């Protein structure tokens, strides 16, 4: 498990690494960049670079934290990638269930496979399920998310690439929004963010504004209309 600078979690845990791009939000994938860098550095876990790789050894080890943490699962991969067998995902879910002091935040872009496999998984209250969307074309993934019985269903809208007037947050318990970061960051207009925040306020959904995005983190990177929006669902740990 690794500490992270991501503000909506405490640490990351990657029982798989690697992925393949599926939509516009993947264009400047941070995980791909990091995986290739780690391979060049000779890190054993990244011997396959960004090719999808299972790490069953991660399921043998005890999690390094005893005190409760929020844990982002598969920051370097996508748990519902088609090359990850259901049996392995089931093992990961069993592992998470056995550490009930922690909250595991699973995030995917593969909404269709999530919906397909969800009935075969044992959902425990410490497993939050998240779906990433970036533009209008990706919105149907939220319908896939709604079919899961996760206690917290969250939507991560990062990188936000355009306005989303057709967003429907019915059945959603948490919303995260962020702009793209890094040298090739595509700009985000705060006027795309405001209607999302306002809809969250109207529907009483916790809203988390992660960052404006851009090449480098600037002063006030997480301020929207004079305020930091770091809201969490009621049963969070932070
Ligand atoms: S789904 Fe996520 S990890 Fe996979 S390529 Fe896209 S951005 Fe990268």
Contacts of 36 (CB under 8 A, 6+ apart): 49, 50
DSSP class of residue 225 equals T
Average pLDDT over residues 140-148: 97
**Is residue 101 a contact partner of residue 133, using CB atoms and an 8 Å limit?**
no
* Ligand 1 touching residue 82 (CB < 6 A): no
* Ligand 1 touching residue 21 (CB < 6 A): yes
Q: Using CA atoms, how far apart are residues 59 and 88, in angstroms rounded to an integer?
A: 10
Q: Using CA atoms, how far apart are residues 36 and 108, in angstroms rounded to an integer?
A: 21
Q: How far is the CA of 202 from the centre of ligand 1 (A)?
A: 31
Residue having the nearest C-alpha atom to atom 3 of ligand 1: 77
Average pLDDT over residues 25-51: 96
pLDDT over threshold 90, residue 16 = yes
Residue having the nearest C-alpha atom to atom 7 of ligand 1: 26
pLDDT over threshold 80, residue 109 = yes
Average pLDDT over residues 103-131: 98
* Ligand 1 touching residue 26 (CB < 6 A): yes
Q: How far is the CA of 212 from the centre of ligand 1 (A)?
A: 20
* pLDDT for residue 172: 98
Q: Hey, what are 210's tokens?
A: 């992660």
Question: How far is Cα of residue 62 from the mean position of the Cα atoms in its chain?
Answer: 23
Note the pLDDT tens digit of each residue in 197-227: 999 999 999 999 999 999 888 889 999 999 9
For residue 84, name the pLDDT band (cuts at 50, 70, 90).
very high
* Ligand 1 touching residue 61 (CB < 6 A): no
* pLDDT for residue 118: 98
Q: How far is the CA of 109 from the centre of ligand 1 (A)?
A: 7
Residue having the nearest C-alpha atom to atom 4 of ligand 1: 19
Residue having the nearest C-alpha atom to atom 6 of ligand 1: 26
For the chain, the average pLDDT equals: 95
Q: Hey, what are 34's tokens?
A: 């990091």
* pLDDT for residue 124: 96
Q: Using CA atoms, how far apart are residues 129 and 41, in angstroms rounded to an integer?
A: 32
* Ligand 1 touching residue 238 (CB < 6 A): no
* Ligand 1 touching residue 19 (CB < 6 A): yes
Q: Using CA atoms, how far apart are residues 110 and 133, in angstroms rounded to an integer?
A: 10
Residue having the nearest C-alpha atom to atom 5 of ligand 1: 21
pLDDT over threshold 80, residue 1 = no
**Beta-sheet pairing, 153-157 with 127-133:** parallel
DSSP class of residue 37 equals H
* pLDDT for residue 63: 72
Atom of ligand 1 nearest to the CA of 25: 7
* Ligand 1 touching residue 29 (CB < 6 A): yes
Contacts of 216 (CB under 8 A, 6+ apart): none
* pLDDT for residue 4: 84
pLDDT over threshold 90, residue 189 = yes
Q: How far is the CA of 226 from the centre of ligand 1 (A)?
A: 32
- Cα dist. 21→35, 77, 103 in Å? 14, 10, 27
């Amino acid at each position: 498990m690794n500490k992270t600078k991501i503000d909506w979690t405490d640490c990351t845990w990657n029982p798989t690494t690697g992925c393949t791009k599926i939509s516009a939000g993947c264009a400047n994938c941070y995980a791909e960049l990091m995986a290739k860098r780690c391979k060049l550095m000779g890190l054993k876990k990244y011997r396959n670079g960004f090719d999808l790789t299972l790490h069953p050894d991660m399921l043998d080890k005890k999690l390094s934290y005893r005190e409760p943490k929020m844990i982002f699962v598969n920051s370097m991969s996508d748990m519902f990638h088609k090359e990850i067998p259901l049996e392995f995902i089931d093992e990961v879910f069993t592992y998470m269930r056995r550490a009930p002091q922690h909250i595991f935040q699973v995030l995917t872009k593969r909404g269709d496979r999530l919906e397909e496999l969800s009935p075969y998984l044992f959902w425990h209250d410490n497993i939050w399920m998240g779906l990433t969307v970036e533009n209008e074309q990706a919105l149907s993934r939220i319908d896939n998310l709604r079919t899961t019985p996760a206690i917290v269903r969250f939507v991560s809208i990062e990188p936000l690439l355009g306005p989303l007037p057709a967003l429907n947050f019915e059945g959603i318990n948490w919303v995260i929004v962020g702009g793209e970061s890094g040298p090739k960051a595509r700009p985000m207009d705060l006027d795309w963010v405001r209607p999302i925040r306002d809809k969250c306020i109207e529907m009483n959904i916790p809203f988390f504004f992660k960052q404006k995005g851009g090449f480098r983190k600037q002063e006030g990177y997480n301020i929207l209309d004079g305020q930091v929006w770091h809201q969490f669902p009621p049963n969070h740990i932070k």
